[in-house]
Amino acid sequence: MTATTDGSPGSPTQRTPSASSASAPDPVPSGGPEAAAQRAVQRAADHLLARQHSDGWWKGDLETNVTMDAEDLMLRQFLGIGDAAVTAASARWIRSQQREDGAWPTFHGGPGDLSATVEAYVALRLAGDAPDEAHMQLAAKWSRGEGGVASARVFTRIWLALFGWWSWDDLPELPPEVIYLPKWMPLNIYSFGCWARQTIVPLTVVGAHRPVRPAPFGIDELHIDPANPNPRQRKAPLVSWDGVFQRLDQVLHVYRRLSPRMVRRSAMNACARWIIERQEADGCWGGIQPPAVYSVIALHLLGYDLDHPVVKAGLESLDRFAVWPGDGMRMIEACQSPVWDTCLATIALADAGVPADHPALVKAADWMLGEQITRPGDWSVQRPQLAPGGWAFEFHNDNYPDIDDTAEVVLALRRVAHPDPARVDSAIDKAVRWNVGMQSRNGAWGAFDADNTSPYPNRLPFCDFGEVIDPPSADVTAHVVEMMAALGLEKDPHTRRGIDWLLAEQEDNGAWFGRWGVNYIYGTGSAVPALTAAGLPATHPAIRRAVEWLGSVQNADGGWGEDLRSYSDQEWVGRGHSTASQTAWALLALLSAGERNHDAVARGVRWLTETQLEDGSWDEPYFTGTGFPRDFSINYHLYRMVFPLTALGRYVRDEPFGTTHMPALASGTGKGA
C-alpha cells in the first residue's frame, strides 16, 4: 500500500525514522518544550478539575456507533412505548453519522458496516424517512451491494425477526436449557465472557418465544432477491469446526420441536430468575445497554408487564444511557465509565503536580472508596473461595468488577493524601488480594474472569459478532503488574509470572497487542511502563525493541495514531491519524524507558502542546478504545484529556512512573490470595 503524507483515511500515514535515528525536531515555542509543556499541563489540569462532578467523579461520553440508537428505537417500537420527540432526536443523530456513500461506519473515518447500515436504515424508516429519499436510496443500494440483509450479523437479523422481516427458522438456535449446563461442561453460560452471558441468557428466552410484532412496512429494498430473502447457508465440511457446529445447530433446531414443554418452561423460568438476580440497584444489567435491552424484552415475553418494578426499573435505566450532543440530537451510550474515568483523571492530575491533598483528589478518592465491591459476583463461580474487593467500570455493576479498573483505582488511591489512610490501606489490601486471586493459570489476567479461555463459544453460529470469551490480555496484565510494582511487590511470585507472560507475548516487531485500546500503541504504552516499573532496565532487549518500534511508527507531524483496521489488516499496525490519547500512550512508554531527552519525545510533546485547544482540552474524533477487536469500537471522550495530561505531567516533572504518595506496602501483601 502506498503511503501518503496527508494521513488520509484511505491509507496508512507516512512514517518517520525510528527513535534511535530520528532527526532533530523543528524549533519549539519560546521557552523550549518544557515551558510549552508546562503551560499545556496547567491549562489541561484546570479544564479537568472544572469537569469534576460535585460527588467527586468524572465521566466522559462513551461514543460507539448508531446500532445503539437504532436498537433503542426498535425496542420502543416492539414494546409500543415510542415517543415522537425521542424518535426525532435519535433519527437526527443517526442521519448525522451517515457516510456520503450511504453506509454507516462503526468508527469515525472507518468503512461502512453492513449490519450498522441495515439497523440504521430500519430505524429511520420507523422514524418516518421514506425509502425514496436520497439518503435512504443510497443506504439501500449500498446494503444490497454488500449482500443485503442475508449477509448481516445474527444479532441484526434477530432484531429484524422481531418485526417479521426475517424468519426465526433461519436464525441459529440456542435453547434456554443451556442455563442448566454445569460449569464443567463445554458451552455452559460461564464459559462465555460476562458481557456475552448477560446477553445470551435473555436471548435464549427471546429465541424460545420467537415473537413477531409486524412492522408497518416491508424492507424488500434491503434484499438482493426479495422473492428469496432468506437463502440457506452452504454447509461447511463436517471435518471442519464450522461444519461440526453447523450440524450442532441443526440438532438444536430439531430439539426445539421435540423439547418437553415442562422442561422448556422450567428452563425459561430459571433464566428469568438468573436475570432478575443480576439486576443492579439502578435497574440496569451489568451497566451496559445490550443486556439491559434483551433482559427487558425477555421478561416482558415471560409475562412481566411494563409496570412491573423489575421491567420499569430496567426501562428507566436505559433512559440514563441517553446523551444530548446538541442540535436536537440524542445519542445512546453502550455503557458508562465513571470509575474508569475517575481513576484515570485522578492519576493524571496527581502526575501533573496537583497536590496529593487537593480537595478534588480527596473527593475523588472518597467516591472511589465508596464504589468498592464487597460481595461476590459471577467471577466467584471460578474463584469460590476468593474474598471480593474489586471495582467495576460503571456506576452500578456489583456482579462484574473489572480487574483492569481495580488495578488503576489502586494506582490512583496511592497518589492521594487521604485524611483516613487506614481506610485507604484496607481498601487497597482487599483489592490487591482480589486481583492476585483472579490471575489465570498462565500467569496473566483477563478483564472480568479467570481462565475464561474456552475455544468453543466463538465457534457457535449464534456468536458471529465480537468476542464472547475473556482471555488474558497484555494491557490488563500490564496494569496489574504496574499496580504490584507500585506497592513494592515487584518480586512477588504472582508479579514475576505476569512479567514472564508479558515478555513472552511481545510481538516480533517489538509491540504488544492491545485488547481494550487501539491497538499496538495501547498495548505497548501499557506494557513498557509496567515492565520498567517492575524493575526491567531500560537496556533490556524487550524494552529496546519496543522503543525502536514506537520510533518507527511516529507520524511525520510528531504524533502517534493507529487505525482500528489494524486488528484485521497488518498494513494498519501502528498507522493512522495522530491522536492525543495515542500520542500520550507512546510518550508514556518512551518516558518510562528513559527516553525523556530523545528527539522522538520532544516531537511528540510538541505535537500535544500545539494541538491543545484554548480551553485546555484536545479534539479527538477518532476512536481509540476497543470493545471487541474488529467489531465494536469506542470513543472515550475523556481519553483526550486524561492521557495527554498524564504524559505531559510526567514529562514536565521528570517522573517517568508518575507520583506515588503513600509508602509501599509490605512485600508479603497479596501472597497466598
Amino acid 466 reads G
Helices 493-505 and 520-533, axial angle in degrees (round to 10): 140
- Alpha-carbon distance of 560 to 281, in angstroms, equals 41
Spell out the alpha helix ranges (H) of 107-235. Answer: 114-126, 134-145, 154-161, 194-209
Q: Contact, 604 vs 558, CB < 8 A?
A: yes
User: DSSP readout, 585-648?
Assistant: HHHHHHHHTT-TTSHHHHHHHHHHHHH--TTS-----S--EEEETTTEEEEETTHHHHHHHHHH
Q: Shortest CA distance to 444 belongs to which of 388, 403, 401?
A: 403
Close Cβ partners of 522 (under 8 Å, ≥ 6 residues apart): 475, 514, 516, 562, 582, 585, 624, 626
- Alpha-carbon distance of 620 to 178, in angstroms, equals 43
Q: Contact, 15 vs 3, CB < 8 A?
A: yes
User: DSSP readout, 383-402?
Assistant: -TTPPP--B-SSSS-TT--B
Q: Which of 113, 351, 378, 404 is catalytic?
A: 404
The number of helix segments (H) and strand segments (E) in the chain equals 22, 5
- Alpha-carbon distance of 556 to 450, in angstroms, equals 41
Amino acid 224 reads I
What is the dihedral sign for C-alpha 90, 91, 95, 98? positive
Whether 470 is a known active-site residue: answer: no
Q: Contact, 512 vs 472, CB < 8 A?
A: no
* Total Cβ atoms within 10 A of residue 663: 9
SS3 105: strand
Separation of CA 536 from chain center = 29
Close Cβ partners of 405 (under 8 Å, ≥ 6 residues apart): 339, 340, 343, 390, 391, 392, 393
Helix (H) or strand (E) holding 326: strand 322-326
- Please give the order of strands across the beta sheet that includes 62-63: 62-63, 632-636, 625-628
For the record, the C-alpha cell of 95 comes out as 442521519
SS3 454: coil
Q: Shortest CA distance to 652 belongs to which of 40, 10, 11, 19?
A: 40
For cell 461444519, what's the residue? 243
Radius of gyration of the chain (CA): 25
For cell 435505566, what's the residue? 317
Catalytic residues: 404
